[in-house]
Structure 1
Amino acid sequence: MKISNILATRHARRLNQKGLTLIELLVVLVILIALAGILIPQLPNMLVRAHTTQSATNIPEANKRIQEFEQIYFKQPANFDNLVNGTALVNYLPGTTGLTATALTADTRAALFNAGITSLAGLYDTSANLTAADGTPTFNPYDATADLNLSAGTPSVAFAAEATIETLLRPDTGASDAYVALGIGQKSELIGRTTNEAPYHFGDVPSLGPDVVYTRFVAIYKVADDGTALDKAIFLGVLALHEDGLENASGHVGEFFETNRL
């Protein structure tokens, strides 16, 4: 009988203890509000840190993959992404500062071709056409009808501003040098040879995500020196496309430390 009473008492206590008391709920809410107050202001900085650290790593890695390809195959990889469709830059780049759609001359086209860049993958010209074709700005922007064979003709490609490239990659005291910017996409000959996946640039705000804009890196090739086309284009390095222009790995490292300092 005593045992039954004890069990009944324990059972009653368990029933009474189910759930939280009002005071306990208030304590939990206060803790959650305090955590939100600490974490929410940090979210923008977290995006910037992810953006800067990934870019600072991916840019040198992309450089290595292109250099390895050249060492193995004795040429530059073909089928980079052409950032121009027709005579204009595709309209879903994160930014166009420092880039212009410019027609190659016969000699600058030959410089790319002789270096091994015999073809370029074509992209849809507008985000509207991309959406209509069920494409995505970064992972599937390809329009096969815009592919280019560089064995002849003078098609348009993205040229990068001379001052920008010589500041970010290689100083040059000459004038009238010409630099071409080509997207490192999934159709590049690098894929399956020196890398399995084309790297992409992690935007520092949601509006610069890979589902919104083209976030691949670009390979920079010099095609003319002092106004004279080179026999073979020279690979200079890899840069990231930003809404306010091109950026190198050092710029991302500096941005990372600046964000942490703030």
Structure 2
Amino acid sequence: MKHYNNMARQAGMTLIELTVVLLILIGLAGLLVPYVGSFTQTTHDSTNSNNLTQLNNAVGRYVTDKNKLPPHVDTLINGLADAGTAGGACAGATAGAVYCGLANPGLFTPATFAAGSTQAQSLAASGINMAVANDPNAQNKTFGTSTGMLMLGDPAGGAYADGSAVFAAVQGVTGVGGVVGGMLDYTDSTEAHLAQALGRDAMVYSDTCYDYIAVGIGDNNELIQSTMAAAPVYFPQDAQFGPQQAYGHFIAILQVDAANTGNDAINTTRACSTITEPAKFLGIVANVPTTESAALVGVNTLLAQGWNNRAAAN
């Protein structure tokens, strides 16, 4: 009887076959990269616009329920000077300046409201009777930056218990705005900046009759645990400006009465109010790196940005 010792062929792939498979996989991965990037960008845009919209609605519900604005806002002003430990953009920060932790602090200027001033009475009458400054020495520029509680008085007295207080006032942005109706030129004005950020016409605002201040809606705000579970944050496209590196909480724009006599500097047919009006909530915006926007960003801007990003990905 003959015995044959046949060697079974070893199962597997040749080097050429393996190379072909790898090339196919690499090609498929290359085709998927644009779609993955588009999905990530779409998620980023929708999350920010949803957070901003929800916060707008939450403030509206709070005002309806409480008949006042939520206190404990962040003033977005350095409550302290740099103690030598701040580092980064806050190195050498001075007290009373616009909060150095903002992604773009150049959009604001410090506004001092003296005790008993029209602005003080306007804020107090709106329910903003307490505010907190921001600490430039905090390593995280969004969470745990509150310092220096300010007592803003009451509507009857209209005076700050702590004397004058400083807030971050919105200012004009170069290149934003233009001639309205061929008569009123709002170019580079605060009014034009607000119109772009909040999605309304520049003629709605008056930098003469009112001060427009930005206040942060942080974790200490009375809005939290009232009409919202937590204070949302903005997620920037550039990771170098994340909530730890830059102030990520959203910002409320308030219209504060500043003058009860005289006419608007641009629209001279409109006179300022003759009474002190309570401060008014105008809308929620985000302060973002200049690589994303040269101005404050509101709901309309985020929605338009989202559609543009989707169109570019197709």
Alpha-carbon separation, structure 2, partners of 1:28 and 1:157: 63
Give the one of 49, 56, 81 matched to 1:56.
Answer: 49
The alignment's TM-score, normalised by the length of structure 2, stands at 0.68
Q: CA deviation at 1:44?
A: 5.7
Match of 1:102 in 2: 111
Structure having the higher strand fraction is 1
Alpha-carbon separation, structure 2, partners of 1:154 and 1:94: 26
CA distance 1:75–1:203, shift in 2 (3 Å): same
Structure 1 residue 260 and structure 2 residue 271: aligned?
A: no
1:258 maps to amino acid: N
Deviation digits for residues 91-138 of structure 1 (CA, Å, limit 9, x no counterpart): 12111242112212432122112111111133212xxx212xxxx222
Q: CA deviation at 1:143?
A: 3.8
Gaps of 5+ in 2: 1-6, 79-94, 154-159, 172-189, 262-274
Alpha-carbon separation, structure 2, partners of 1:183 and 1:107: 22
Alpha-carbon separation, structure 2, partners of 1:43 and 1:154: 52
Match of 2:237 in 1: 204
What secondary structure, in the 3-state scheme, does the structure 2 residue paired with 1:232 have? coil
CA distance 1:259–1:68, shift in 2 (3 Å): same
Match of 1:168 in 2: 197
Alpha-carbon separation, structure 2, partners of 1:123 and 1:130: 9
Alpha-carbon separation, structure 2, partners of 1:202 and 1:165: 22
Q: Which has the higher contact order (CA 8 A, sep 6+)?
A: 1
- Spell out the pairing of 1:140-155 with structure 2 (5 A cutoff): 140-144=143-147, 146-151=148-153, 152=160, 153-155=163-165
2:71, 2:128 within 8 Å by CA — same for their partners in 1?
A: yes
Higher mean displacement: 182-191 or 146-155? 146-155
Match of 1:5 in 2: none
2:118, 2:258 within 8 Å by CA — same for their partners in 1?
A: no
Give the one of 255, 277, 281 matched to 1:222.
Answer: 255
RMSD in angstroms over aligned alpha carbons?
A: 2.7
Q: CA deviation at 1:167?
A: 3.9
What secondary structure, in the 3-state scheme, does the structure 1 residue paired with 2:243 have? coil
What secondary structure, in the 3-state scheme, does the structure 2 residue paired with 1:242 have? coil
Structure 1 residue 187 and structure 2 residue 220: aligned?
A: yes
Alpha-carbon separation, structure 2, partners of 1:124 and 1:226: 31
Gaps of 5+ in 1: 1-8
1:50, 1:202 within 8 Å by CA — same for their partners in 2?
A: no
CA distance 1:185–1:41, shift in 2 (3 Å): same
Alpha-carbon separation, structure 1, partners of 2:13 and 2:123: 71
Alpha-carbon separation, structure 1, partners of 2:120 and 2:164: 7
Equivalences, count? 242
2:260, 2:276 within 8 Å by CA — same for their partners in 1?
A: no
Structure 1 residue 124 and structure 2 residue 135: aligned?
A: yes
Deviation digits for residues 195-246 of structure 1 (CA, Å, limit 9, x no counterpart): 1111111111212222221111100110026676843101111111122220
Higher mean displacement: 219-228 or 104-113? 219-228
CA distance 1:174–1:214, shift in 2 (3 Å): closer
Q: CA deviation at 1:74?
A: 1.6
CA distance 1:149–1:175, shift in 2 (3 Å): closer
Alpha-carbon separation, structure 2, partners of 1:173 and 1:241: 20
What secondary structure, in the 3-state scheme, does the structure 2 residue paired with 1:197 have? coil
2:279 maps to amino acid: A
